[in-house]
Amino acid sequence: MAPFRVFQNGASLFQGLVDRARKTVRGSADDIGWLQRTQGLPAAEDGTTRFLEILDSVRKNEHKLPDAVVYLLVPGLFSNHGPLYFVKTKAYFSKMGLVCHIAKIHSEVLTYISLCSSLDILFSSSDTKGVLQSSVSKNAREIKEYIEEIYWGSRKRVLLLGHSKGGVDAAAALSLYWPQLKDKVAGLVLAQSPYGGSPVASDILREGQLGDYVMLRKLMEILVSKVLKGDLQALEDLTYERRKEFLAQHPLPPEVPIVSFHTEASITPSVLTALSHVAHVELPVAADGNPARIPVVMPLSAALAACSQLLVARYGEKSDGLVTRKDAEVPGSVAVRPERKLDHAWMVYSSMNEEPGDQANTSQVCEALLTLLVEVAQRRRHQTAMKDE
């Protein structure tokens, strides 16, 4: 019996190792785009052509956004480190006579995690003071309170645009508090939001992987909880497992007009070259006579390009560096799928230099997305009225 037990235990250990290896190798391959494969969910409608038409009109100074509503911009990643994040867009809307607010919530966790995991580089920063964004549910309640405050102060309905995790949080607010908000919200734009989840978050936090990944999780826990003073649940809420659980319990109300906007990062050699140049910076002189590496701030566009390239190499999926196109598309929404290469941080850093050029800037893209949302909402109301007659 003893030899049999040894054999049985050995076989069990071997099978456990095989299962862990399989889970590590497969990663998020079976999860990416799960919403689009779920039976019973409505397909998204392609609104790219109409969006580009509106954007062209916006760039010709033809503006159609109504002043009968209030606009609420919900930031996502980089909200602590992007002082101009949505600020110019708010000023741009104000010049058109529109009331626009920015929800003051914080959402930095996925940025650090993704760059550290995908590139195996840790960044040091003196600007990480303060509390980072907590769970989706916590932020959803804050957004709900923003909406109610705006509505009771203006008696106008609210149109929301959430970027990155801000879109996930805004959608959660509508899912959790729709009975209180249905008369106060006119629609929602999710821009580059991991609505279905993020392979970056899932690959880091997935349980039962091989040792290196377990150690990486522990490292991330220390980084997020101790160094950045943040809540690890903010990252966990973006894993496929958590998104599946949340959406099963709290789906978006079908009557909410939704526009999904997603892009892919450029992975051209010129963009990636900036990454390699900075990643290998060394001090010319060191105490032991050998070149010494120093901590550097990596160009964000290059880092996201590298992340995007890694996701293509591992899964064959296009992404903006953090979120795949498939996972950013809400079922039943009007989807905007531009060909222009825009990484996940474009909406943040492009606002620092919005000069006239051949390409539309952040404010113009936001205006076009919200104008499309207004059209979607009007069409929904017309269809409902026709059914009631």
Q: Is 162 in contact with 170 (CB distance < 8 Å)? A: yes
Mean pLDDT for the stretch of residues 220-239: 59
For 360-383, the pLDDT digits (tens) are: 899 999 999 999 999 999 998 888
Mean pLDDT for the stretch of residues 1-25: 50
Nearest to 29 by CA among 324, 355, 342, 368: 324
Q: Is 229 in contact with 131 (CB distance < 8 Å)? A: yes
Q: Is the dihedral of CA 37, 240, 174, 333 positive or negative?
A: negative
For residue 238, the tally of other CB atoms under 10 A from its CB is: 30
Burial class (CB within 10 angstroms; exposed 0-12, middle 13-18, buried 19+) of 260: buried
pLDDT at 105 over 70: yes
Q: Which fold does the domain 33-266+320-354+361-374 belong to in CATH?
A: Rossmann fold (3.40.50)
More confident residue, 381 or 178: 178
Nearest to 234 by CA among 165, 164, 329, 304: 165
Instruction: Report, in this order, helix, strand and coil percent for the chain, each rounded to 5.
Output: 50, 10, 40
What value does the mean pLDDT of the chain take? 78
What is the spatial distance between Cα 84 and Cα 279, in angstroms, rounded to a whole number? 26
pLDDT at 227: 42
| Lookup result for tokens 């626009």 | 100
The domain spans of the chain are 33-266+320-354+361-374
Q: How far is CA 289 from CA 82, 281, 354, in A?
A: 39, 16, 45
For 185-219, the pLDDT digits (tens) are: 999 999 999 999 998 878 877 765 544 555 555 54
pLDDT at 295: 44
Give the H or E element holding residue 114. helix 109-119
354: amino acid identity, one letter: E
pLDDT at 69 over 80: yes
| Lookup result for tokens 């920015």 | 102
Mean pLDDT for the stretch of residues 94-114: 73
Q: Is 328 in contact with 194 (CB distance < 8 Å)? A: yes
pLDDT at 121 over 50: no
Output the six-digit token pair for 114: 């993704």
pLDDT at 27 over 70: yes
**What residues contact 157, with CB distance under 8 A and at least 6 apart?**
68, 69, 70, 151, 183, 184, 185, 186
pLDDT at 304 over 50: yes
Mean pLDDT for the stretch of residues 273-279: 45
Mean pLDDT for the stretch of residues 276-291: 46
Which has the minimum average pLDDT: 129-133, 192-196, 231-235, 344-348? 129-133
- Is the whole-model pTM more than 0.95? no
pLDDT at 297 over 50: no
Nearest to 57 by CA among 294, 360, 343, 378: 360
For residue 186, the tally of other CB atoms under 10 A from its CB is: 22
pLDDT at 26 over 80: no
Q: How far is CA 233 from CA 114, 314, 383, in A?
A: 15, 26, 40
pLDDT at 7 over 60: no
